[in-house]
Every structure is written in structure tokens, then in C-alpha cells.
Amino acid sequence: MSKRHRQIGLPISGIFLMVLLLIAFLQPYRLALVRGTSMLPTIEDRQVVLIHKKHQPNRYQLIAFEQEGKFLIKRVIGVPGDSFVRTQERLLIGAEDTDFDFSFMITVKDEAVEALPIRGYLKEDEYFVVGDALLTSSESRYRKT
């Protein structure tokens, strides 16, 4: 192989390697356009966010999921193992397996309340999530698939 061919081959193989690394890095990620105000002030309406698709959610992290054909972004407040108790329109979520015990009390819509048992524990694939704009956001019970 001539010196000229080797000089051309090195930049091309370098570019090819960079493209492969970029693809490998971006594979578990997705860009998403946020529509709505349920995550104000953290995320603005029409803001673009980068989502890690294969990450196991932890308490207080933001997650993205699809529900009833809509793509939603919410904050995790209840994780597997957390206890919950519901009364009329209130939901009390408690965590006991952390460095300190704590609880959240939120108001939920009638249809969400009726779908929940009176008390229980979140299963391995269940999370309670809410929007940061608590007065305008809809609550969700998210089942990871």
C-alpha cells in the first residue's frame, strides 16, 4: 500500500471509530420535546430534554414514560417497597427503608383514588409519580413495563 493510501485510510478509520463511539453512547438516550406545564418550574413547556432510556428510577428523579398514548415526564415520589394509605381524596406515601422515615401526602383525583386499594405496598415494578407543578399536574401510578 502506498504512503498516500495510508494517509487517507487513517482519517477515514478515525472518523468511522468516532461515529461508532457516538452511536454506542447515544443508544440508551432519547431526545424529547416536553409539551405542557406539569413540570414547571423545573422544565418549561416546549423544552427539549435528553432521556436515559435504561436507567432504574430512584426517588425524586425525573422519569419519562408513555401513558394512554401520551409521553409524560414526572418526578418519582414513591418507589417499590413504599407503603401507601388512601382516604377519600388523599394519598399518604411512606418510606421506611431509607436513612430516615418520611411520608408524602398528596391530593388525588377521584378516578385515581378508586383504582387504588385502601392500603398496600408498591410492588417491584410500581412507582408513584407527580408533576412539579402540583396544583396543575395530574398524578399517576406508573407501572414499569
Tens of pLDDT along 43-62?
999 999 988 887 789 989 99
Q: Which of 74, 83, 103, 138 is catalytic?
A: 74
Q: What pLDDT, on a 0 to 100 scale, did the predictor assign at position 7?
A: 59
Q: What is the pLDDT of residue 144?
A: 44
In the residue annotation, 123 being an active-site residue is answered as no
Contact (Cβ atoms closer than 8 angstroms) between residue 83 and residue 96: yes
What does pLDDT average to over the chain?
A: 80
Q: Give yes or no: 38 in active site.
A: yes
Helix (H) / strand (E) containing 130: strand 126-130
Please name each of the domains of the chain with its CATH number.
Answer: 28-143 (2.10.109)
The reported pLDDT for the residue numbered 63 is: 92
| pLDDT for residue 113 is more than 80 | no
Q: In angstroms, rounded to a whole number, what is the distance separating the alpha carbons of residues 69 and 32? A: 15
The single residue of 3, 38, 53, 70 carrying the catalytic annotation is: 38
CA distance 133 to 145: 26
Please state the rounded mean pLDDT for residues 5-14.
Answer: 66
- pLDDT at position 2: 56
Band of residue 69 on the pLDDT scale cut at 50, 70, 90: confident
